[in-house]
């Protein structure tokens, strides 16, 4: 084989090897880029998930604080309303006690509790009080009834106000 042909064959072989090496290097670079892109995407997704979780935690904490403050304010407002309502109801009791039917029920209740026991009867603006000689006090007044029933009446009053609002 003449020298020129040998050199051409060697150049072709060398060019083919260079082309093959370049193709292999390009394929390896593409695989490396793909692995790096997946790793970068995973890190970004992880960082984003962490950031979102932190933001949700901050948001939840703010929401919990705001909810607590709102509930506290509602409870304060309800307590204040009940504090105004109770004296207003109490002021209406003497008029209610003047109703003959109410007065009779209060009197019958007091005498029913006293039975035949001796004692002193005292009429009040809101009902009747009997002081028995034994020291027992029978308080059949609307004031006493309101005091005793207020824990049960307060939620009913709140519900009525909520209906009106």
pLDDT score at 9? 81
pLDDT score at 73? 97
pLDDT score at 128? 96
Q: Where are the domains positioned within the chain?
A: 3-164
Sheet holding 137-141, edge to edge: 119-124, 127-132, 137-141
pLDDT score at 120? 95
Q: What is the 3 state secondary structure string of the chain? A: CCHHHHHHHHHHHHHHHHHHHHHHHHHHHHHHHHHHHHHHHHHHHHHHHHHHHHHHHHHHHHHHHHHHHHHHHHHHHHHHHHHHHHHHHHHHHHHHHCCHHHHHHHHHHHHHHHCCCCEEEEEECCEEEEEECCCCEEEEEHHHHHHHHHHHHHHHHHHHHHHHC
Q: Which two tokens stand for residue 31?
A: 């695989």
Q: Residue 1: which pLDDT band, with cuts at 50, 70 and 90?
A: low
132, pLDDT greater than 90: yes
**What's the rounded mean pLDDT across residues 140-152?**
96
Which pTM value belongs to this model? 0.60
pLDDT digits (tens, 9 = 90+) for 65-104: 999 999 999 999 999 999 999 999 999 999 999 999 999 9
pLDDT score at 110? 95
**What's the rounded mean pLDDT across residues 161-165?**
83
pLDDT digits (tens, 9 = 90+) for 4-48: 887 888 888 888 899 999 999 999 999 999 999 999 999 999 999
pLDDT digits (tens, 9 = 90+) for 54-69: 999 999 999 999 999 9
- Per the prediction, the chain carries an average pLDDT of 93
Q: Which two tokens stand for residue 17?
A: 């090897």
């Amino acid at each position: 084989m003449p020298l020129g042909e040998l050199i051409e064959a060697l150049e072709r072989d060398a060019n083919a090897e260079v082309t093959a090496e370049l193709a292999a290097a390009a394929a390896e670079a593409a695989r490396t880029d793909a692995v790096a892109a997946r790793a970068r995407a995973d890190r970004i997704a992880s960082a984003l998930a962490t950031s979102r979780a932190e933001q949700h935690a901050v948001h939840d904490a703010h929401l919990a604080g705001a909810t607590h403050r709102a509930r506290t304010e509602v409870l304060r407002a309800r307590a204040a309303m009940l504090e105004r309502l109770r004296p207003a109801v109490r002021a209406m009791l003497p008029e209610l006690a003047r109703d003959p039917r109410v007065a009779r029920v209060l009197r019958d209740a007091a005498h029913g509790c006293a039975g035949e026991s001796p004692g002193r009867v005292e009429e009040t603006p809101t009902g009747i009080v009997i002081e028995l000689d034994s020291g027992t006090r029978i308080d059949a007044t609307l004031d006493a009834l309101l005091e005793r029933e207020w824990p049960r009446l307060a939620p009913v009053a709140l519900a009525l106000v909520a209906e009106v609002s």
